Structure 1
Amino acid sequence: FDTQSNEQSTWVRIPQNQNIYGLTFMGDMIFEKPLGRSRTPMAIIPYVAAGTFNDRENQNQENRLKVGADAKLSIGNSMNLDVTVNPDFSQVEVDDQVTNLSRFEVGLPEKRQFFIDNNDLFADFGGARDANPFFSRRIGIAKDTAGNTIENPILGGVRLSGKLNPKFRLGFFNIHTQKDEANEIPAFNNTMLALQHVVFARSNIGFYFINRVAFGSDDFITREERFNRVLGVDYNLISVDNLWNGRFYLHRSFQPDVSGKDLSTGASLNYNSRFYGGFTDWAYIGENFRSDLGFIRRDDIVKGTTGFSRTFWPENSYFNNHRFQVVAQQIWSPSLDMQLTDYTFRGSWEARFRDQSQAEVQWRSQYTYLFDSFDPTGSDGIELPAGSDYYYNTIRLGYGSDRRRIFSFRGQSTIGDFFNGQRLSIEAGATVRIQPKAFLSMQVNYDQITLPEPYSSADIWLIVPRIEITFSRSLFWSTLIQYSNQRDNLGINTRLQWRFAPLSDLFLVYTDNYYVDTFSPKVRSINLKVTYWLNI
Structure 2
Amino acid sequence: MGEDEWKGAAIATGFIQYEPRRGEPSGVRTEAIVLFDAGHLYVAFRVWDGEPITAQLTQRDADLFTDDAVAVVLDTTLDKRSGYYFITNALGTQADGRIAEDGRTLDSNWDAPWQSAARRTDYGWSAEFSLPLSSIKYAAGKSQTWGINFGRSRRRTLERSFWTGPLDSQWRVSQAGRIVELDVPPPLDRIQVVPYGLTRMQEKMAPHWEGGMDARYALTPTTAVYATLLPDFATIEADQEQINLTRFELTLPEKRQFFLEGQEQFNQRFRTFYSRRIEEITAGSKLLGKQGPWTMVLLSAESKPDSGGERANYTVARAQRDVSARSNVAIMGANRRLEGKDQGSVSTDANLFFTRTFGMTAQAVKSYGPFGHGTWLYFLRPAYDSPTGHFHVRYGHIGDHVAANVNAIGQIVDDDRREIDSKITKIRWIRRGAFEQATYDSNYNIYWGQTGLVRSWKVDESFATEFRNRISTTLLWTEEFKRFEKNFRNRQGGFDLGYNTREYQSVKTGLRFGRNFDADFVLWTGAARYKLTRKLSTEYSLQRLKLDPDPRRESTWIHVLRADQFFTKDLFLRVFFQTNSAIERNNIQALFVYRYLPPFGTIQVAYQRGTAAFGQRSTQGNTLFLKATTVF
Work out whether the TM-score is over 0.5.
yes
Contact map agreement 1:201 1:239 (CA 8 A) in 2: no
Give the equivalent residue in structure 2 for 1:159.
286
Shift of the alpha carbon at 1:368? 1.5
Change (3 A) 1:520 1:305: closer
Give, in angstroms, the shift of residue 179 of structure 1.
6.4
CA distance in 2, matches of 1:406, 1:205: 39
Tell me how far apart the structure 1 counterparts of residues 424 and 502 of structure 2 sit (CA, whole Å).
30
Using structure 2 for the length normalisation, give the TM-score: 0.70
In structure 2, relative to structure 1, the CA distance for the partners of 1:273 and 1:178 (3 Å cut) is closer
1:329 aligns with 2:445: yes
Question: What does residue 274 of structure 2 align with?
Answer: 135
Residue 419 (str. 1) matches residue 568 (str. 2):
no
Structure 1 residues 4-45: Cα deviation after superposition (integer angstroms, max 9, x where no partner): 233222111134xx4323434322322x34323333520111
Give the conservation status (yes or no) of the 8 Å contact 2:431–2:437.
no
Q: State the Cα distance separating 1:527 from its structure 2 match.
A: 1.4
| 1:185 aligns with one of 309, 318, 327 | 309
| Runs (5+) with no aligned partner, structure 1 | 55-59, 141-152, 217-225, 371-386
Change (3 A) 1:206 1:26: same
Contact 1:201 1:240 in 2 (8 A): no
Q: CA deviation at 1:524?
A: 3.6
Tell me what 1:382 maps to: none
CA contact (8 A) 1:431 1:442 kept: yes
Quickly say closer, same or farther: Cα 1:434–1:73, change in 2 above 3 A: farther
Change (3 A) 1:436 1:171: farther
Q: What is the CA–CA distance in structure 1 between the aligned matches of 2:504 and 2:420, rounded to whole Å?
A: 42
Cα pair distance change 1:531/1:458, threshold 3 Å: closer
CA contact (8 A) 2:212 2:231 kept: yes
Give runs of aligned pairs for residues 95-174 of structure 1, distance below 5 A: 95-121=239-265, 123-125=266-268, 127=269, 131-140=270-279, 153-165=280-292, 167-174=293-300
Alpha-carbon distance change, 354 to 196 in structure 1, aligned in 2, over 3 angstroms: farther
Q: Which residue of 2 aligns with 1:205?
A: 329
Shift of 1:357: 4.6
- What is aligned with 1:3? 155
1:66-90 CA distances to partner (integer Å, 9 max, x unpaired)? Answer: 1111111112211121110111111
Secondary structure, counterpart of 1:9 in structure 2 = strand
Please name the residue that 1:278 is paired with. 391
**Structure 1 stretch displaced more, 357-366 or 423-432:** 357-366
Pick closer, same or farther for the CA change 1:215–1:346 going to 2, 3 Å.
Answer: closer
CA distance in 1, matches of 2:566, 2:218: 32
User: Take 2:278 and 2:467, find their aligned partners in 1: how far apart are those partners?
Assistant: 43
Cα distance change, pair 88–398 in 1 and its aligned pair in 2 (3 A): same
CA distance, structure 2, for counterparts of residue 244 and residue 357 of structure 1 = 34
> C-alpha separation between the residues in 2 aligned to 1:449 and 1:233?
43
Match of 1:228 in 2: 343
1:44 match: 193
TM-score of the superposition, structure 1-length normalised?
0.82
- Per-residue deviation, residues 360-413 of structure 1 (Å, max 9, x unmatched): 11111111222xxxxxxxxxxxxxxxx321213221111222245563111211
**Mapping 1:402-481, distance limit 5 Å:** 402-403=500-501, 407-434=505-532, 436-451=534-549, 455=551, 459-481=555-577
AA paired with 1:176? E
Distance 2:486 2:305 in 1: 42
SS in structure 1 at match of 2:258: helix
Indicate conservation of the 8 Å contact 1:40/1:75, yes or no: no
Q: How many residues are treated as equivalent by the alignment?
A: 472
Cα 1:194–1:436 change in 2 (3 A) is: farther
Instruction: Report the 3-state secondary structure (helix = DSSP H, G, I; strand = E; otherwise coil) of the residue aligned with 2:276.
Output: helix
Aligned to 1:61, the other structure's residue is in SS state: coil
Instruction: Determine if the alignment matches structure 1 residue 398 to structure 2 residue 509.
Output: no
Partner Cα separation in structure 2 for residue 48 and residue 514 of structure 1: 21
Letter in 1 for 2:378: T
Cα gap change, 1:279 to 1:363, in 2 (>3 Å) = same
Shift of residue 466, structure 1, vs aligned partner = 0.7
State the structure with bigger RCO (CA 8 A, min sep 6), 1 or 2.
1
Name the structure 1 match of 2:486.
Answer: 388
Alignment-derived partner of residue 149 in structure 1: none
Q: Deviation of residue 424 (structure 1)?
A: 0.9
Work out the CA distance in 1 between the residues paired with 2:465 and 2:360.
Answer: 26
Are the aligned partners of 1:14 and 1:20 in contact in 2 as well (CA < 8 Å)? no
Unpaired runs of 5+ residues, structure 2, are 1-152
Contact 2:505 2:531 in 1 (8 A): yes
Residue 307 of structure 1 corresponds to which residue in structure 2? 423
Please name the residue that 1:175 is paired with.
301
Preserved contact between residue 40 and residue 76 of structure 1 (Cα < 8 Å): no
Other-structure match for 1:362: 476
Contact kept, 8 Å, 1:313 with 1:322, in 2: the verdict is yes
3-state DSSP class of the match of 1:114? helix
Aligned partners of 1:450 and 1:456 also within 8 Å: no
Please state if 1:214 is matched with 2:351: no
Take 2:353 and 2:470, find their aligned partners in 1: how far apart are those partners?
A: 29
Q: Which amino acid aligns with 1:532?
A: T
Shift of 1:301: 1.6
Task: Say whether the 8 Å CA contact 2:305–2:311 is kept in structure 1.
Answer: yes
Q: In 2, Cα distance between the equivalents of 1:346 and 1:402?
A: 26
| 1:240-319 pair list within 5 angstroms | 240-241=355-356, 243-256=357-370, 258-273=371-386, 276-289=389-402, 290-291=405-406, 292-319=408-435
Instruction: Give the equivalent residue in structure 2 for 1:146.
Output: none
The change in CA–CA distance for 1:514 and 1:6 in structure 2 (over 3 A counts) is: closer
- Which of 599, 602, 608 is residue 505 of structure 1 equivalent to? 602
